[in-house]
Each structure stands twice: as structure tokens, then as C-alpha cells.
Structure 1
Amino acid sequence: MVDQKTPADAAASRGRGGAPAIRERLTRRKPVEELVAETQAAEGTGLQRHMGFWQLSMIGIGATLGTGIFVVLGEAVPVAGPAVILSFVLAGLTALFSALAYAEMAGMIPASGSAYSYSYATIGEFMAWVCGWCLMLTYGVSVAAVGVGWGEYINELLHLTTGLSLPQALLAGPMEGGLVNLPAAAVVLLSMFALLGGVRESSRLNAVMVVVKVAILVMFVAIAVTAVQEGNFAPFMPMGMAGVSAAGATLFFSYIGFDSVSTASEEARNPQRDLPRAIMFSMILVTAIYCLVAFAAVGAFNWTGFADGETSLAGILTKVTGTPVWAVVFAAGAVLALASVVLVVLYSQTRILYAMSRDGLIPAAFSEVDAKGTPCINTLVTSLVIAVLAALVPLGPLADATSIGTLFAFALVNVAVLVLRRTRPDLPRAFRVPGAPVTPVLGVLACAFLMFSMSLSVWLAFLAWLAVGFAVYFGYGMRRSALERV
């Protein structure tokens, strides 16, 4: 049952001047029933329900299958050696625990706020804000990071087909000795225009790009596996378990995106049935593809060759076949594949902001929608900020910052499952995490393990981001919260 307070209780919990006491304001929750009722009340005036299982699955695959395998693999192999395969397994298991938790929560609370909404219903407003703030980091920086990876493949495709390359000044920001990463900013802006055209149209475009990216990765495995040599796997773990865990923390970036399915909750025709299925299907398919690609890549090309940081999957195809033809096909497919990630993750970012705006924690303009059900101002502002980020910051710091914010948010979703299992066992669940409470606890521990595998510089950047978030919440969000007026 939802907690009920008597007038005396309410008065006792309020400070001077009738304002709620600070502790109550930080821990106030939004009941599950209210979250569900809000999404139903918004039908016809807010986001529009038109997505089925396949469209939702394409969102999950489209957001997940991207830069992690196309670009970040090359950065992880020198850290773990051939054991990078185990690093993928470690990162995948961590993501799987959280995927199970997401599946249970999405089936119960079909709200576009994803982990933010789940935290609001279980842990309280302050932790929900922290979760939402981390998701801003996750989605926003992830889009920028994928944009940087897209620019690298655009340049590689140009070089393979014409022998020319883009000037370094237009391929990197000031931190890398350039001026601005023009391709990275361009793909973000192109995705912005696609989203402004309407969700139906952009979801169809994403589905086409997902088919292309799966096809080219299958093509890579089929070609590279013919050149696999047993000697390339020895020594299998040259950096020990420390290398495996460090690479796993970096490669966790590869699994970010399956939770994008839950941000489409308010645009799903049957969210309770289709969301859990789409989350698990996309996770299983993506994990299988990642393991196959990693095996084929390190088996066909000795891991020490990745140390220069310039070995890409397209480059491996050229070395294996002796001709650039397949590399051209792969690079062209990668350009489309990474564009789909930018499109879907940018979409997810706008939906998180939509939910936070509806709750009053950020300005109301972010929850205004046009006749097509598109949050236009939200999409414009978010896209422009991310385009600037993509143009100026290199891939490595972006990927690591994205991973730590995501791991924190995922840990909170596992906590939300534990809380609701204890406080609201009566709620109908379309999907139940198997092995609970052990499985969600393992999910929290796995997220913590990977977080503490990250470098001090990443932690300092994360803590700085949280400090800014605290200032925004206490300076604006807490006083403007919709629950402040209840």
C-alpha cells in the first residue's frame, strides 16, 4: 500500500514556514501508481504509443551495438591481450544483471524516465535526481563519444576509397592538437533533424541501420575466422586479472544502450509485455555478436599489433584478405551503424529530460511536445550541447566518463528491485528477476567492482559532475519539484 500520512504527521515533518523538512524533501517518493497514471493521462497530449516488440528491440540493438565494438575494442586489447574476450564476458555479465533488473522494473513502471523514474518510486527524490544526472552524463557523453568514433570511420572510408584524409584540424578537438571534430558534430546534428521529423520516421530509419550493422559484423566474423591462428592466443592473459578487469571497465561502454528500450516506455503499445522481452533479446544478441567479433579479431591478428591504437576492424580485414575491398564495405557499414547509435541514444537522452521536466526538476520547456509528439525544444537544446562536446573532447575520456555514470545508474536499478520486492510485493510483475535477492545484490557488486577498476582521473571527473548536479538540485530542482506542491 502507498504510505498515508495524517495531518499531524505532515505538520511534524515540516520545517518553519510550512516548508517540508529537508530530510523529507530528499527522500520523498513518487508512488508507482502515480507514475503509471501520469503516463496514461498523457496519452493523446504527450508522447504517442506506436512501438511494438520489434521496434523496441531495434532501439536496444541500435543503441548498444556501436562504438564499443567498432572503436573501443582497439583500445582494450593492449590492456588485456587475448583475454579481452574475458573482459567482454565480465562486462557482459555486469550488464546482464542490470538488464534483468531493468526488465522487471520496466514491466512494472512503464515511464520514459527509465532508471530515474524507478529510483523516484523506491529510493526517493534526491537519489532519483542523482540517477537522472548520471543518465545525462551517460547518454549525453555517449552520443558525443560515438560521434567521435563515427568521424574516425568517415576518415577511414575516405582514405580507403580516395587515398585522401581529412585534415587533422577538422578531425580532433583542441585536446588532441586539432581545432574541432567536424564529423562528430555533424552526425549529432543530422540525428537531431531525424528526431525532429518524428519518432515513427526515425525508428524506421534506425531499423534499417540496425540490419546493416548486424550484417557487416557477421561479415567480419565470417572473413576473419578463416585467418584465426592458435598462436595469437598465447599468452592468453599477459596482463593478468588486473588487465582483464581494467579492460572490462572500458568495454562496459560497449553494453551501454540496452536500457534505451526502457526510455521508450511511454511510446510502446504494450509496455508491460514487450519491454522486458525487448531488453533481454537485445542483450543476448549483442553479447553473442561481441564475443564472436572479439574472438575473430584477436585470433586473426596478434594482440601486440593493437598497441599503436590505429588497428581497426576494417584494417584487420585488409590484412586478412590482402585487398581493401572488404574493408571499404565494412567501413561504409560502420558509418551507418554508428549513426544509428547516435540517433537512438540521443532519443533516449531527450526522454530522460522529458520525465525530469515533467516532475519539475528541470525547466518545463523540456517536456513540451509538438503535434507529432516530439519534444522539440528538448531535442534542439540537447543536440546542440552534445554536438559541441563531440566537437571538442576526444573519445577515450568520453568513453570512461560514460561508463562510470552508467554503472552508478545501473546499480540504483538493482537497488530499486530489492526495495520494491520488500515494500510492494503486491505489485504485478510481467517479469521477475530470477534468483532475487541474490541476483540484484550481485548486480550492485559487479557495478561497484568495475567502477573501482577505473582510474583516479575518471573518478575525479565523475565527482566533479556530481558536485555540479548537487548545486543544480539544491539551487533549482528541490524547490521547483512537483512534489513540493503536494
Structure 2
Amino acid sequence: MRRKPVERLIAEGGQGEGGRLRRSLSMWQLTMISIGATLGTGIFVVLGEAVPKAGPAVVISFVIAGLTALFSALSYAELAGTIPVSGSSYSYAYATMGELIAWICGWCLILEYGVSVAAVAVGWGQYLNELLSGTIGLTIPGWMANPPGQGGYLNIPALLVVLLAMGFLLGGAKESARANTIMVVVKIASLILFCAVAFTGIRAGNYKPFMPLGLGGVSAAGASLFFSYIGFDAASTAGEEAKNPKRDMPRAIMLSLLIVTVLYCLVALVAVGAMPWKNFGNADAALAQIMKDVTGQSFWSVLLAAGAVIAIASVVLTVMYGQTRILFSMSRDGLVPKLFAKVSPRSGTPVANTVIVSLFCGVLAAVVPLGALADATSIGTLFAFSLVNAAVIVLRRTRPDMPRSFKVAFSPITPAIGFALCLWMMGSFETITWEYFGGWMIVGVVLYFAYGMRRSQLAQEESRAARLEK
């Protein structure tokens, strides 16, 4: 239950083994990181899995998932401005609820960031196939484009995009942010283009019945689509590389969520109007298929597939960035090996950390199917978000005088609603997802008691103090 004081967390900011992280990111670059981490797989890939659950009412599912994310985003904005460090919700929990809860939160974040990279990379391969077949008539053979159990041996495209992202990240945070900004602009333009073209194919009859599977279907689709909002908190992992974190991080989090939610709802509304909802389950790259059906030409679908390839690549890049920074913070606290906090003096990046995370995510992407990954990631994220909402309430009680650059309105009611919504969304997942999550949690708790509890920085200090007293 030992806690790390907020002032100490901030004072240690940027310091790693052998070097420091560099403050080089502006507010717009932070916003682009959050949009880059969020906008992509949910609308390009997971939409095709969610529509058969909710029908045309998938638009409401997006709104429900977005509202759940909004309440948590408000809590993230307050804490990111108050405790501007790389650890995101892991560090917030360490300052408010103690080391064990912080470890559990960090373990959930490893699931959220690390495993979602793999899930996103799988979706990237689907659109790469669409792009290649539409441009040069080449289709990637199933044995090298699908994981075991789905007609293949190894998903090579998924592994490839993870390794490409690793190359960008090793170049430095500023260089990665520039590349991500270009990719974000391309992906937003691609979705606006989709809406403009697919709008001409809307048929009023496709919206009837609007809610064919009832509220239960809408809720189930909302839980799956929450995966689409994973990433808005990515800006909070850049607290030690932002130029003005107290001012810019809350703004970046809220602005990115607003832009993403508007785009999601607009694209979903147009998509279900242009294609009968029952057809979505048969389309791997649903949006590209809609473009082809509406225009009767492959050119537009190929153009969208090219945008999706770039869009999903930026998700891989920014989510991997977040994962490395969380492990950096956990390593600095002694809860994972010190290797993860070793910073290169030349690039200002944690090189070994980046390589290890990339190889882990790449192998996972190559051998595990998308569906199981997406749901397991969502439940871990919701758990971490619930802890962030709780952290706001605790910090308001324990440190009411602390200066805050952003404050959640109507606290503690607002974060309490965010906490309850996260638990409600978690309850919508199937038993198998809870079994995956439970297994992950058991492994995490065992690792903490076997390694982190005794090796943590605070534990070492307590041990030294006890020896001095003797």
C-alpha cells in the first residue's frame, strides 16, 4: 500500500538509466499522438464485427462507447495536467492508491497497449491485401496472411508493420511525432472521402429495422467498439516529453476524443446506410467493400485501402510509443527490470525497451487472431480507466490544495459516473473474455509478489532505512 508522492513523481520525470527523455512535443503533436493511437482499427476493422451485433443502431453503440470514454477522458485530463509523467494511469494510481494497485493498473496497460498493437497489426494486413489486389492484382497467400487456426501459419504483414513502427520509434520522439502527424492527416482525409462517396449510395431502407437485436445488441456492440476509443489516453504517456505538459496534455486529450467521436459516428451512419447491416459480417475490409459497391469501380476502394494502410500503421506507431513509456516508468520505479528505463544519449529514446516491446507485439500479431485480442484488450482498458476515475476522487480528498491546470466539473459525481460506466461496459463481455482477463490478472499478481514487491525503489529505500535504524 506504499505510495509515491506526487512531487517525487514529477521531480523524477524524464530521468532514466543512462540518459533523459527530451521535451520536444507541442500541443498539436500531443493531439495527433492521441488521434493517431485512437482513430484507425475501430472504424476500419472492428466496425465490420460490431454491425452484426447491433444493426443500424451501431451508431448508438459508438455514442455509448464514446460517452464512457468521455467521463474517463475528463479524469485523465485532470490527472495528466496535475501529474505530468510518462506512466499515465499507472503513475496516477501509484500516487493515490498504492503500489499494488499501481502494478495492477500497469499490468492492465501492458494488456491495453501491447496487445492492442498486435490486434491493430492484424487489421492492417486485411487492408494491405485489399490494396495490393486492387493495384497490382496480387493477393497475399492465406498461409502467410493469417494466424494459425484461421487458415495460415504466420501473419507476415502484421509482423512487418510492427517492425516498421519500431524503426520510426528508434529515431526519436520528435521524429516519430512528425511521421505520425502526416499519417493522421491522411487517415482523416480518407474517412472524409469515404463519407462523401458512400453518401451517394445511402438507401433509407437500410436503416430499417433500426434496432433489430434490441438494446442487448447495442450494448454488446458498444462494449466491442470501446476498442475503437483505446488510445485517447496516449497523450498522457508523453508527459515527460511535452514542452508544456500541464497546459497542453488536458487540451490534447479532450480535443482528440471530440474529433474521433464525430468522425466515428459520421462514418458509421453513412456505412450502415450504404450497405445492408447483415452484409457486414462477410466483409473483411467493410469500408473498402462499400466504396466498391457504391461506385461500381475498384479505384475508390483501392484509394480507401491505401488510406487505411497508412491510418492503421499510425495506430501501431503511437500505441507502441505509449507502451514503451509506461514500461519506462515502471522500470524506473523498480517494478520491472532496469533495462526498460535505459535511455540512449544519442536519440533520447529507451532503445532496448522499444526493441523488446516491438518483438513481443510482432510475434503476438503474427500468431493470434484479432477477435480474442480486441475484447481482452478492451476489458483491461476499462479496468485501468475505472482506476483513473477513482484516483481523481482520492487525490481530491487527500490533496485538495494541489494546483490543477484542469478540473473535472461536479467531482466526485462525474468521476463516479465514469467509474460506474466502466464497470457496466465490463459486464457486457462474454465469459471467455473474463477468463482471459482473469488469467492475465493472476499472472500479474504472481509476478508482483515474486519480483516487483521486493525490488521496487520504495521497498529498497524502506530496507535501507530499516538497516540504518538497527
Matched, 1:445 2:420: yes
**Are the aligned partners of 1:305 and 1:311 in contact in 2 as well (CA < 8 Å)?**
no
Matched, 1:204 2:153: no
The aligned amino acid for 2:369 is: P
The aligned amino acid for 1:100 is: L
Q: Match of 2:3, SS?
A: coil
Matched, 1:79 2:53: yes
Which of 449, 466, 470 aligns to 1:474? It is 449
Residue correspondence of structure 1 range 183-332 to structure 2 within 5 A: 183-310=157-284, 312-332=286-306
Matched, 1:150 2:133: no
**Are the aligned partners of 2:105 and 2:387 in contact in 1 as well (CA < 8 Å)?**
yes
Partner of 1:13: none
**Post-superposition offset of 1:228:** 1.6
- Distance in 2 (CA, whole Å) between partners of 1:276 and 1:186 is 34
Cα distance change, pair 40–361 in 1 and its aligned pair in 2 (3 A): closer
Partner of 2:466: none
**Are the aligned partners of 2:454 and 2:460 in contact in 1 as well (CA < 8 Å)?**
no
Residue correspondence of structure 1 range 105-184 to structure 2 within 5 A: 105-184=79-158
- Distance in 1 (CA, whole Å) between partners of 2:337 and 2:14 is 22
The aligned amino acid for 1:32 is: V
Partner of 1:67: 41
Matched, 1:100 2:87: no
- Distance in 1 (CA, whole Å) between partners of 2:30 and 2:281 is 38
Matched, 1:462 2:431: no
User: TM-score, length-normalised on structure 2?
Assistant: 0.96
Partner of 1:484: 459
Cα distance change, pair 43–429 in 1 and its aligned pair in 2 (3 A): farther
**Are the aligned partners of 1:75 and 1:309 in contact in 2 as well (CA < 8 Å)?**
no
**Are the aligned partners of 1:192 and 1:343 in contact in 2 as well (CA < 8 Å)?**
yes
**Post-superposition offset of 1:162:** 2.7
- Distance in 2 (CA, whole Å) between partners of 1:76 and 1:296 is 15
Gaps of 5+ in 2: 462-470
Cα distance change, pair 309–329 in 1 and its aligned pair in 2 (3 A): closer
Task: Kindly provide the CA deviation profile for residues 241-263 of structure 1, in whole angstroms up to 9, marking residues without a partner as x.
Answer: 10001000000000000110000
Aligned residues between the structures: 460
The aligned amino acid for 1:408 is: F
**Are the aligned partners of 1:228 and 1:299 in contact in 2 as well (CA < 8 Å)?**
yes
Q: Match of 2:410, SS?
A: coil
Partner of 1:401: 376
Task: Kindly provide the CA deviation profile for residues 262-316 of structure 1, in whole angstroms up to 9, marking residues without a partner as x.
Answer: 0000000100000000000000000000000000000111111113243510110
User: Percent same amino acid at aligned positions?
Assistant: 62
- Distance in 1 (CA, whole Å) between partners of 2:336 and 2:285 is 43
Which of 320, 324, 328 aligns to 1:350? It is 324
The aligned amino acid for 1:334 is: A
- Distance in 2 (CA, whole Å) between partners of 1:40 and 1:316 is 46
The aligned amino acid for 1:392 is: V
**Are the aligned partners of 1:150 and 1:183 in contact in 2 as well (CA < 8 Å)?**
yes
Q: Match of 1:266, SS?
A: coil
- Distance in 1 (CA, whole Å) between partners of 2:15 and 2:136 is 55
Matched, 1:368 2:368: no
Which of 386, 410, 430 aligns to 1:435? It is 410
- Distance in 2 (CA, whole Å) between partners of 1:303 and 1:385 is 36
**Post-superposition offset of 1:204:** 0.7
**Post-superposition offset of 1:485:** 2.1
**Are the aligned partners of 2:44 and 2:285 in contact in 1 as well (CA < 8 Å)?**
no
- Distance in 2 (CA, whole Å) between partners of 1:301 and 1:341 is 26
- Distance in 2 (CA, whole Å) between partners of 1:49 and 1:215 is 29
Partner of 2:31: 57
Matched, 1:415 2:398: no
Partner of 1:23: none
- Distance in 1 (CA, whole Å) between partners of 2:32 and 2:348 is 20
Gaps of 5+ in 1: 1-26
- Distance in 2 (CA, whole Å) between partners of 1:43 and 1:326 is 49
Q: Match of 2:383, SS?
A: helix
- Distance in 2 (CA, whole Å) between partners of 1:243 and 1:56 is 35
Q: Match of 1:39, SS?
A: coil
Task: Kindly provide the CA deviation profile for residues 116-138 of structure 1, in whole angstroms up to 9, marking residues without a partner as x.
Answer: 00000001100000000000000
- Distance in 1 (CA, whole Å) between partners of 2:330 and 2:460 is 16
**Post-superposition offset of 1:45:** 3.4
User: TM-score, length-normalised on structure 1?
Assistant: 0.93
Task: Kindly provide the CA deviation profile for residues 153-172 of structure 1, in whole angstroms up to 9, marking residues without a partner as x.
Answer: 01111111233311110011
Cα distance change, pair 307–173 in 1 and its aligned pair in 2 (3 A): closer
Partner of 1:382: 357
Q: Match of 2:4, SS?
A: coil
**Are the aligned partners of 1:89 and 1:291 in contact in 2 as well (CA < 8 Å)?**
yes
Partner of 2:367: 392
Partner of 2:468: none
